Structure 1
């Protein structure tokens, strides 16, 4: 048995956010052969579950790694098998620092996006993710109000800049003075920086699932295109970068696909490394 981990945007999904028919046939072939297919993304669980339901993936053999590894969901069992939280106070400090610099910041509570400010970035993000949002005065009070119904701390905090990418790079450098060694940070897009649990990265998800299902790491394959995919590309037995990937992903990959995300690059990977090896 092999486990294939794939990023979504720019990897499994075409630019118009579809899974090609060719990719779907290959995915079904690997599931029928007894392998596991893992959609691995920075998206919240609610968003990626919608995609999984659309394509009929909410069944045995399929898994969802959301929040860049903060939550791993078994589609067959219909429940998480791992969740990694971060303290609300840590989230509050990062959000305050971002707001002070004119950047948008949000976190999550169940199916909701939670922010202290209603910004255009918040509206755009929620429209793309197909999620509702709530604007609160203080997230610490918001989570505290729900203590009797066991609302747990957030899994991730997102910072979205309306400015140049370089400003977000500077922000990460500044935040690392207090978060380094405590929180994991990564760019999921040039305009989006994410902070999460130290072990909430796609590489840790690869190692966890390989151990959990007693599959040798050598029998894992990870495919991606951006910086937040690099930990899993490095951790997997075979690390793959898409033809359209960023240079940083290509530099560490064992293999770069001939086909990009718009031309069934995932099917190429499945045929080469899962079904014929």
Structure 2
């Protein structure tokens, strides 16, 4: 995919995935990446952290990395919620219904797969299991164990997550069995890695969030840059004026991108490409 010439001029807005893209394997950013982001934002460009993580986890990344740039935005739940950092205000939210979430929970149970979803403040899980512990090694959002998910009865949930550790083929079987229902309900299922299946409204997605925030800020999408490494990043890479796939990205992500970084996320790959764009 080629970038529109306008995308190389004027101030820009960067939408970056976290894990496998902006963050290294230690869930940190290198000194070089920080130096580039200082330069990028001081030049008047905007930074948006865009993740499949819940919005509280995205916020915690901003805080522990001390990313205090003005005009930052956070996008969580694969595009399900957009938050303005300067005010803490939610600018946009879209959710699965309570009934849809319960259907996904039951289907996961029938397949013997871990399921959880999210309230505004917590992970909601029917049980305490190995997969939840695996997930919490990275995601520190507190957990409520809830069988009936009454916490989201009125407002729904921005996404569900189904997990199978080193059993990707079982997740693929789950997708095949649920695909007809999901299509009818206008629900999208994508992998953020081989262990995690992300499930959210089809009107959501990272690409939709790119378009929505650009609309709210009156910024042309041609002036946006999006970077990622996984299947759930493809829509935002395609929506942006410049789409960057990481060196460590899957082949389908690379095929959707304008450019591929020369180095991976553990060697400041994204930052080195950004220097050539600003």
- TM-score by shorter chain over 0.5: yes
Unaligned runs of at least 5 residues, structure 1: none
Residue 87 of structure 1 corresponds to 97
Deviation for aligned residue 1:190: 0.9
Question: Which of 189, 208, 225 matches 1:204?
Answer: 208
Q: Distance in 2 between matches of 1:154 and 1:59?
A: 29
Question: Does 2:238 match 1:228?
Answer: no
Alignment of 1:180-195 (within 5 A): 180-181=183-184, 182-195=186-199
Q: Is the 2:166–2:194 contact (alpha carbons within 8 Å) kept by the matching residues of 1?
A: no
When structure 1 is superposed on structure 2, of 123-132 and 72-81 the one drifting more is 123-132
Question: Which of 157, 160, 177 matches 1:157?
Answer: 160
Q: Is the 1:59–1:75 contact (alpha carbons within 8 Å) kept by the matching residues of 2?
A: no
SS in 2 for 1:215: coil
Residue 256 of structure 2 corresponds to 252
Q: Is the 1:59–1:76 contact (alpha carbons within 8 Å) kept by the matching residues of 2?
A: no
Q: After TM superposition, what 4+ stretches of structure 1 lie above 6 angstroms from structure 2? A: none
Question: Which of 97, 105, 121 matches 1:111?
Answer: 121
Residue 111 of structure 2 corresponds to 101
Q: Is the 1:98–1:105 contact (alpha carbons within 8 Å) kept by the matching residues of 2?
A: yes
**Aligned positions, number:** 267
Unaligned runs of at least 5 residues, structure 2: 1-10
Deviation for aligned residue 1:162: 3.6
Deviation for aligned residue 1:217: 1.5
Deviation for aligned residue 1:142: 4.2
SS in 1 for 2:32: helix
SS in 2 for 1:96: helix
Q: Is the 2:113–2:162 contact (alpha carbons within 8 Å) kept by the matching residues of 1?
A: yes
When structure 1 is superposed on structure 2, of 176-185 and 55-64 the one drifting more is 55-64
Q: Distance in 2 between matches of 1:44 and 1:261?
A: 21
Question: Which of 167, 170, 179 matches 2:170?
Answer: 167
Deviation for aligned residue 1:202: 0.8
Residue 19 of structure 1 corresponds to 29
The superposition leaves residues 23-46 of structure 1 with CA deviations (integer Å, 9 ceiling, x where unpaired) of 111111111111111111100111
Q: Distance in 1 between matches of 2:102 and 2:165?
A: 20
143 and 241 in structure 1: CA distance in 2 versus 1, 3 angstrom threshold: closer
Q: Is the 2:41–2:69 contact (alpha carbons within 8 Å) kept by the matching residues of 1?
A: no
Residue 272 of structure 1 corresponds to 276
SS in 1 for 2:28: coil
TM-score for both structures, normalised by structure 2: 0.92
